[in-house]
Amino acid sequence: MAGTAHPDLGDDEALALLRDSTIEPLGVLTRASNLTLLAELHDGSGTATGHRAVYKPVRGERPLADFPHGTLAAREVAAYLVSREGGWDLVPPTVLRDGPIGPGSLQWWVEQEPERLADPSGGLVEVLRPEELDESWLGVVEGQDEDGQAVVVAHADDARLRSMAVLDVALNNADRKAAHLTLDSAERLRGFDHGLCLHEHDKLRTVLWGWAGRPVPDEDLTRLVRLSTALDGTLRETLLELLDDAEVEALRGRVGGLRRTAVMPVPAPGRYPLPWPLW
């Protein structure tokens, strides 16, 4: 199922633009851990198409202790394919291609309302006082603020966010920060920065633990079935161009396990379950 990259543009059209346009860097996104550039997409005549993308060259990836060096761009693309083929439509269109600083991932830029730029997660993840934690919020971790007052990091009990949490389990997302979530200009949830995904070993680190131990919703079970079917077909071969065999088999195992239990996992004992920083 093709998702929608833009209210007037489908995923297939967006993918064609990402693959075929000239990448014209506009500047560096300085909050990113690895080299990340905002780019404008130009057509063959050098004319701006009016669309932007995020370009992450492989050569700008910092070495990590637990992920093979030079693989993050491919994982960004694989995460998009899993989201699309499962029918979640939560990850913006993403391709792997050559660019002005060499090969890397190129992802469709998510347009946001101006007032949301200072808070990308759109109020879906917040730091609250314990007395503010009503039934619309799910607490994740307790702590203290700079004045020693009790606070709770919580996320909204929101169906869109719950589906993102299910997708993150499938992806084995090791870096679901609050700032890696946003609502686009059409109020659709989008997740990005998926370079730390799809490891063969359990790496799930997320701010979306509020549904731990709860049933997987029927609509997400349907998506998991759909993803399983895709993994038995051409999606597996496509992913093997981006990941190694053990990682693809681990993905199949996670999807199958989540289908069988139909229950969201709880944090694994002995392993820190949160990203750092949380935002």
Burial group, residue 252, by CB count within 10 angstroms (0-12, 13-18, 19+)? middle
Q: CA dist 224 to 75, 81, 99, 253, Å?
A: 19, 13, 34, 12
Per DSSP, what are the bridge partners of residue 27?
38
Q: Is residue 104 predicted with pLDDT exceeding 60? A: yes
> How does pLDDT run across 28-43, given as a tens digit for each residue?
998 888 999 999 999 9
d(C-alpha 27, C-alpha 53), whole Å: 11
**Among the listed residues 141, 92, 147, the one whose alpha carbon sits nearest the alpha carbon of residue 267:** 141
| More confident: 72 or 122 | 72
Which phi and psi (to 5°) does residue 164 adopt?
-65, -40
> How does pLDDT run across 117-175, given as a tens digit for each residue?
556 667 899 999 999 999 999 999 999 988 999 999 999 999 999 999 999 999 999 99
Q: What integer pLDDT is reported at residue 121 of this predicted model? A: 67
**What is the overall mean pLDDT for the chain?**
93
